[in-house]
Amino acid sequence: MHSNFITPPDYIKTVLVVNATEEQITNLGDIVRGGTVPYNVYFYNQAMNDQLWFNRVSSKADVIIYADKNNPEEFFDK
């Protein structure tokens, strides 16, 4: 676990990706690792069955991507 110390003008986008496949998660890791834009990326799927966690994270997220409906890779800067 790590923490971020962030000062102006920096801003880290927070993204919640829901129902991603293992392949999508791997691809997103590669995109973020090779990119220049920092992200906080949270992953959730229905099998986790933790509505309180989902509500908490979704209220902080700049964007929520439902990976079973949209390709999450299209959101991230490459």
Residue 72 pLDDT level (bands cut at 50, 70, 90) = very high
Burial of 48 (0-12, 13-18, 19+ CB in 10 A): exposed
Model pLDDT, residue 1:
79
The per-residue pLDDT of the chain, averaged, comes to: 94
Measure the CA–CA gap between 61 and 5, rounded to whole angstroms: 18
Query: What's the number of domains the chain is made of?
Result: 1
Model pLDDT, residue 51:
97
Domain region containing 34: 13-69
Q: Does 64 reside within a domain?
A: yes
DSSP-derived 3-state class of residue 30:
helix
Residue 67 pLDDT level (bands cut at 50, 70, 90) = very high
Model pLDDT, residue 78:
61
Rounded mean pLDDT of 16-28? Answer: 97
Model pLDDT, residue 47:
94
Model pLDDT, residue 27:
95
